[in-house]
């Protein structure tokens, strides 16, 4: 009967091995952004559009604008846009550096997040 134990332990090993793999990045991943990373834009009202390589569930997507002093504001995502993009508008943006933090859920169930740094200049 030893071989039966071997087949069963092989399957158990398969499952344990599957559990031993490490974390990996997930899509959806960012394909393009406006403002682009590192861009300098005029202040006041800034149109934001992030495009991804996957369809998103907008109910579980978030955009947050973080100023260099750490103050953060959650942006309202515009409804009715393309299924692979997030649109919002940043208002009252003063001169300085900003980080646009995004978190999305692709329809394949992979949650991912990232940042786009840009600057508001004169």
**In the set 8, 40, 42, 72, which binds other proteins (CB under 8 A)?**
8
Binding mask 88-107 for other proteins (x = CB under 8 A): ---------x-x---x-xxx
Q: How far is the CB of 54 from other proteins (least distance, A)?
A: 4
Contact 118, 101 (CB under 8 A): no
Q: In whole angstroms, how far apart are CA 117 and each of 23, 31, 34?
A: 25, 15, 11
Q: Does 7 bind other proteins (CB under 8 A)?
A: yes
Question: Toward other proteins, which CB reaches closer, 1 or 92?
Answer: 1
Q: Does 57 bind other proteins (CB under 8 A)?
A: yes
Question: For the chain, how are helix, strand and coil distributed in percent, rounded to 5?
Answer: 15, 50, 35
DSSP letter (8 states) at residue 58: G
């Amino acid at each position: 009967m030893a071989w039966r134990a071997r087949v069963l332990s092989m399957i158990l090993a398969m499952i344990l091995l599957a559990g031993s793999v490490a974390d990996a990045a997930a899509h959806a991943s960012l394909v393009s952004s406006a403002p682009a990373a590192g861009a300098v834009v005029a202040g006041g009202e800034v149109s934001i559009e992030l495009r991804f390589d996957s369809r998103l569930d907008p109910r579980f997507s978030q955009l947050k604008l973080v100023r260099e002093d750490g103050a953060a504001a959650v942006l309202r995502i515009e409804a009715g846009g393309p299924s692979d993009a997030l649109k919002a508008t940043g208002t009252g943006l003063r001169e300085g550096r900003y980080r646009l933090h995004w978190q999305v859920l692709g329809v394949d169930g992979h949650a991912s997040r990232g940042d786009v740094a840009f600057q508001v200049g004169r």
